């Protein structure tokens, strides 16, 4: 895992759950939803020093999710990349 602590990876899940989201985590991937639909997928790449966020809805990424991810990105000097995946109509 190079530079990111395991506790911080778990802490991302805990903060998202505390904010009211449904989170499924597998290693460094997070599937985040609001109990009705998936909102985004987050992939943490410690070796590349990147956190990639793929939004899955037409809406913008909720600010509380963005703040949680920005906090961990700043702590470890990682780049936060947000991409939109257009949902099919």
* pLDDT (mean) for 23-38: 94
What are the boundaries of each domain within the chain? 6-84
Q: Decide if pLDDT at 61 tops 80.
A: yes
Q: 3-state SS string over the chain?
A: CCCCCHHHHHHHHHHHHHCCCEEEEECCEEEEECCCCEEEEEEEECCCCEEEEEECCCCCCCHHHHHHHHHHHHHCCCEEEEEECCCCC
Q: What pLDDT is stored for residue 6 in this prediction?
A: 87
The model's pTM is: 0.89
* pLDDT (mean) for 17-28: 95
The sheet with strand 79-84 has its strands ordered as 22-26, 29-33, 38-45, 50-55, 79-84
How long, in residues, is the chain?
89
């Amino acid at each position: 895992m190079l530079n990111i602590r395991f506790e911080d990876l778990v802490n991302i899940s805990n903060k998202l759950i505390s904010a009211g989201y449904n989170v499924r985590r597998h290693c460094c991937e997070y599937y985040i939803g609001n109990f009705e639909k998936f909102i985004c997928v987050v992939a943490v790449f410690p070796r590349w020093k990147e956190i990639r966020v793929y939004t899955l809805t037409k809406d913008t990424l909720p600010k509380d999710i963005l703040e949680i991810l920005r906090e961990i990105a700043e702590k470890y000097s990682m780049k936060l990349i947000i991409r939109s995946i257009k949902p099919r109509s």
